[in-house]
């Protein structure tokens, strides 16, 4: 696997501040929505659908990428890959699990309602289902094939998390408004704390990306820059090691 690239620290201004009107941000602040939990505990990294079908074979504008794979997010996905690399490196250094919920190759009977809305999802060639090389799993990582948006629906993911003693999930991948959001909502509904490193998730629509980050941060997750998420992970690992006398 290609060594992690050096990435700049995440911006301090959340991406939704240029999209959500100031009066609505003030309203949410008055209500107290968006408070951080700051109780990470043992964590697992979820890398959702980072396959060539989601990013294209090489970085290119989305208008070109969708000619190769209609489900592609093009350059938006490739911009996230170095940040996901950094998170993978941090999780492996901390000895915490890395899990790959991913779209399983589709048979004719797998279309469901998603294919009703976007028939092109049924025509992705086999290469599109391969993991992006720079962030591909290695021996010991956990693969979670899925057929629906949430990484929890119809999969053994919750069992894997419980077996590993996980209380917090870091959710990365795509799309922010689709599979990422569905997974975040299910995770918090099941009692897991959720962190979304903002540069490590992506979407084909940048407006939808920003609005969904805002909504998840307000209700379901702690959305933060990758640099803060990694520091929080290191603090958690140090705390766990201290409690275990390591």
- Residue ranges and CATH numbers for the domains of the chain are 37-243 (3.40.50.850)
Per-residue pLDDT tens over the stretch 73-127:
999 999 999 999 999 999 999 999 999 999 887 665 666 676 566 666 656 777 8
pLDDT of residue 183: 98
Per-residue pLDDT tens over the stretch 154-198:
999 999 999 999 999 999 999 999 999 999 999 999 999 999 999
Of residues 240 and 50, more confidence is placed in 50
Q: What's the whole-number mean pLDDT along residues 138-165? A: 96
pLDDT at residue 61 greater than cutoff 80 = yes
pLDDT at residue 2 greater than cutoff 70 = no
pLDDT at residue 9 greater than cutoff 50 = no
pTM: 0.88
pLDDT of residue 119: 60
Specify whether 179 is catalytic: yes
Distance between CA 222 and CA 245 in Å, rounded?
29
**Candidates 179, 184, 229, 230; catalytic one:** 179
pLDDT of residue 118: 66
């Amino acid at each position: 696997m290609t060594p992690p690239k050096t990435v700049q620290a995440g911006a301090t201004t959340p991406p939704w501040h240029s999209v959500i009107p100031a009066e609505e941000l003030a309203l949410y602040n008055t209500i107290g929505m968006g408070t951080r939990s700051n109780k990470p505990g043992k964590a697992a990294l979820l890398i959702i659908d980072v396959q060539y079908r989601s990013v294209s074979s090489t970085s290119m504008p989305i208008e070109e990428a969708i000619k190769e794979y209609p489900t592609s997010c093009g350059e938006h996905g490739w911009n996230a890959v170095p940040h996901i690399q950094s998170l993978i490196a941090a999780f492996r250094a901390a000895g915490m699990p890395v899990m790959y919920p991913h779209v399983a190759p589709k048979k004719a009977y797998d279309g469901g309602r998603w294919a009703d809305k976007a028939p092109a999802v049924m025509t992705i060639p086999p290469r599109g289902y391969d993991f992006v090389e720079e962030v591909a799993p290695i021996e010991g990582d956990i693969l979670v094939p899925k057929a629906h948006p949430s990484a929890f629906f119809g999969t053994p993911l919750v069992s894997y998390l419980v077996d590993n003693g996980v209380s917090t999930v870091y959710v990365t991948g795509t799309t922010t408004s689709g599979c990422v959001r569905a997974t975040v909502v299910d995770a918090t509904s099941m009692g897991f704390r959720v962190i979304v490193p903002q540069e490590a998730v992506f979407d084909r629509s940048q407006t939808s990306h920003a609005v969904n980050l805002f909504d998840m941060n307000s209700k379901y997750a702690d959305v933060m820059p990758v640099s803060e998420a990694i520091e929080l992970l290191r603090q958690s690992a140090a705390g766990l090691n201290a409690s275990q006398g390591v």
